[in-house]
């Protein structure tokens, strides 16, 4: 299977000055002063990422994250190509697919949320690749978890024939009790701290 990759072209060189609380990065004669943002936490679906001694930077009201530390914490591989000043971010070959069984693979998934009311609807679009004819009808299972406990489970029947398809699954409404006084970003952050999802094939 061909690797997916995100290619990031770097036009700046980041230099950290930990003892002074600021960092400068420069190209040629252009210099910028940025602040070391040691107070900033980085989370993945509400779970904090340990980036070790690498520290985010803030400049011009924007936050810049250490690409190697964050990517490796998420399980990605980082390659640096000095000839083109390119950083290549890719998942290791063994990480594909996301979920699999003999003859069928989930190769990607994306979710969307509706947090406009006191109930949440979570949808997931799943790209499924079937590599051989099956003599049974496989089932895709979408589970929503709250603090690690399954609170909703939805299923979809998959095809038995070869090919790639997109399957949409939608959870039932369930109360998230996040409070109407929170901003949209705050509600989303608190939602991800409590809720997660997972996919299975059987």
Specify the DSSP class assigned to residue 159.
Answer: P
User: Are the beta carbons of 40 and 49 closer than 8 angstroms?
Assistant: no
Q: Would you tell me how many other CB atoms lie within 10 Å of the CB of residue 126?
A: 23
Q: What is the pLDDT of residues 9-32, one digit of tens each?
A: 333 333 333 333 455 544 456 777
CATH of 99-201, one of 2.60.40.10, 3.40.50.620, 3.20.190.10, 3.30.300.20: 2.60.40.10
pLDDT digits (tens, 9 = 90+) for 89-103: 877 766 556 677 888
Q: Helix, strand or coil for residue 168?
A: strand
Greatest CA separation found in the chain? 67
pTM for this predicted structure = 0.53
Q: Per-residue pLDDT tens for 34-58?
A: 899 888 988 876 778 888 888 899 9
In the chain, where are the structural domains located? 5-93, 99-201
């Amino acid at each position: 299977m061909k690797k997916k990759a995100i290619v990031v072209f770097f036009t700046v060189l980041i230099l950290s000055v930990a003892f002074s609380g600021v960092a400068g990065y420069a190209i040629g004669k252009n210099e910028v002063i940025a602040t070391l943002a040691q107070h900033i936490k980085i989370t993945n679906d509400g779970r904090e990422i340990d980036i070790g001694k690498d520290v985010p930077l803030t400049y011009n009201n924007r936050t810049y994250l250490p690409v190697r530390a964050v990517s490796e914490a998420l399980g990605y591989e980082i390659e640096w190509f000095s000839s083109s000043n390119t950083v290549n971010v890719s998942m290791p070959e063994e990480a594909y697919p996301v979920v699999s069984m003999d003859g069928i693979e989930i190769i990607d998934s994306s979710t969307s949320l509706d947090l406009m009311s006191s109930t949440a609807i979570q949808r997931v679009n799943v790209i499924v690749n079937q590599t051989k004819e099956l003599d049974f009808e496989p089932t895709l299972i979408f589970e929503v978890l709250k603090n690690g406990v399954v609170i909703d489970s939805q299923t979809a029947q998959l095809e038995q024939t070869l090919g790639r398809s997109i399957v949409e699954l939608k959870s039932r409404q369930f109360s998230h009790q996040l409070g109407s006084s929170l901003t949209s970003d705050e509600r989303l952050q608190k939602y991800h701290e409590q809720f997660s999802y997972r996919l299975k094939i059987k």
